[in-house]
Chains A and B, each alone.
Chain A
Amino acid sequence: QKEVEQNSGPLSVPEGAIASLNCTYSDRVSQSFFWYRQYSGKSPELIMSIYSNGDKEDGRFTAQLNKASQYVSLLIRDSQPSDSATYLCAVNMAAGANSKLTFGKGITLSVRP
């Protein structure tokens, strides 16, 4: 069964720190990778997508992808209390790169003021 694993939480960091969220996936043919943020009671909100090995930066967020190690991560710099949410890693496990997403269970981040 194709799986996406996220390290167990919750994760708590002080305001201004770097939060590091990790994710591994089982299917080597996976081509597209996403991070979603989900506030309690709300739907997932796309915050980052990454398709190639290396780093991709967008504001305070950096996604890192290593296909050889089947590993994708999200770094949040200068963490703010408003970043407190559940972060979902999602992988498109299809050679065509554009179909259903397989999600991890998510990790809950708490940023302490």
Chain B
Amino acid sequence: DTGVSQDPRHKITKRGQNVTFRCDPISEHNRLYWYRQTLGQGPEFLTYFQNEAQLEKSRLLSDRFSAERPKGSFSTLEIQRTEQGDSAMYLCASSVSGGLTYEQYFGPGTRLTVT
């Protein structure tokens, strides 16, 4: 049973560039979540999907951020016109829905540095 995978693990980009991250959830998990974590803080929710439907998006999420999960399997998170404040660890997690437990398992994360 492979865990959640994310790609790339590290990304350095210049301010104003667009970046895209990929997340592959645990194979039988139909829910997929994106979080962002900055130094000294807990992860902060960005958005989540059940299958291909995006069910919730954080009000704090700028319109420069967009996420997709077109076939209900992997997901991508795109940040357009990056800013230095976007520098953070971007975490993906997955879970099953409709079961008796609601545990979310995290991938290794993508560390973004905007210069």
A binding-site residues for B, Cβ under 8 Å = 4, 32, 34, 36, 42-46, 49, 51, 88, 90, 92, 97-106
Contact of B56 among A34, A99, A104, A106 (CB under 8 A): A99
Closest A residue, CB atoms, query B44: A103
For the side of the interface on B, what is the size category?
A: 20 to 34
A-B interface contact total, Cβ < 8 Å: 56
Interface assignment of B40: CB less than 8 Å from any CB of chain A: yes
Chain A residues positioned under 8 Å from B56 (CB to CB): 99-100
Known A105-B41, A105-B42; judge A43-B106 contact (CB<8 A). yes
* A49 near B107: Cβ-Cβ < 8 Å: no
Chain A residues positioned under 8 Å from B18 (CB to CB): none
B binding-site residues for A, Cβ under 8 Å = 31, 33, 35, 40-45, 48, 55-56, 89, 91, 95, 97, 101-109
Contact of B48 among A46, A51, A100, A106 (CB under 8 A): A100
Closest A residue, CB atoms, query B97: A98
Nearest CB in chain A: distance from B37 CB, A? 8
Contact of A88 among B42, B45, B89, B105 (CB under 8 A): B42
Nearest CB in chain A: distance from B75 CB, A? 15
A31 to B106, CA, bound (A): 20
A10 to B87, CA, bound (A): 25
* A101 near B109: Cβ-Cβ < 8 Å: no
* A101 near B91: Cβ-Cβ < 8 Å: no
Chain A residues positioned under 8 Å from B97 (CB to CB): 98
A104 to B40, CA, bound (A): 10
Chain B residues positioned under 8 Å from A101 (CB to CB): 33, 35, 43, 45, 104
* B107 near A34: Cβ-Cβ < 8 Å: no
* B42 near A45: Cβ-Cβ < 8 Å: no
A43 to B94, CA, bound (A): 13
Chain A residues positioned under 8 Å from B42 (CB to CB): 4, 88, 90, 103-106
A51 to B48, CA, bound (A): 22
Known A88-B42, A100-B45, A105-B41; judge A44-B31 contact (CB<8 A). no
* A43 near B102: Cβ-Cβ < 8 Å: no
